[in-house]
Structure 1
Amino acid sequence: MNLSLSVKLLVFAVCFLFSVIVGMVAALISHRPNTPKGPAILYGGGVFGGALTLCLVALTSISVL
């Protein structure tokens, strides 16, 4: 596909926001009520990084980015 730069940036923004939501949900699921919030935030950050990487690799493989 031959997409313009603005469309590619929009697709990247959608991937980024989707990954943020996935990371937040993972952090909320991993948090226990009587424990500190730090490990849950680190876990959510790791899931965010993995989700963003997976989205970008998938979109690159189908030639969107």
Structure 2
Amino acid sequence: MNLSLGVKVLIVVICALFSVIIGIVAGLIHHKPTTPKGPAFLYGGGVFGGSLTLCLVVLTSLAIL
């Protein structure tokens, strides 16, 4: 696909926002009320990084980016 730069940037921003939502949900699921919040933040950040990487790899392999 021959997409313009603006469309590619929009797709990357959408992937980042989607990954933020996934990271927030994973952090909320990982957090327990009796434990500190730090490990849940780290877990959510790791999930964010993994899901963003996965989204970008899939879009690159489909020749969208």
Do both share a fold (TM > 0.5)? yes
The 1-side partners of 2:28 and 2:40 are apart by: 7
The aligned runs of 1:53-64 (5 Å cut-off) are 53-64=53-64
Structure 1 counterpart SS, 2:23: helix
Q: Does 1:43 align with 2:43?
A: yes
Paired residue total: 65
Letter aligned with residue 16 of structure 1: A
The aligned runs of 1:13-52 (5 Å cut-off) are 13-52=13-52
Instruction: Point out 4+ residue stretches in structure 1 off by more than 3 angstroms.
Output: none
Please, which runs of 5 or more residues in structure 1 have no aligned partner?
none
How does the TM-score come out when normalised to structure 1? 0.99
How does the TM-score come out when normalised to structure 2? 0.99
Over the aligned positions, Cα root-mean-square deviation in angstroms equals 0.3
The 2-side partners of 1:28 and 1:11 are apart by: 26
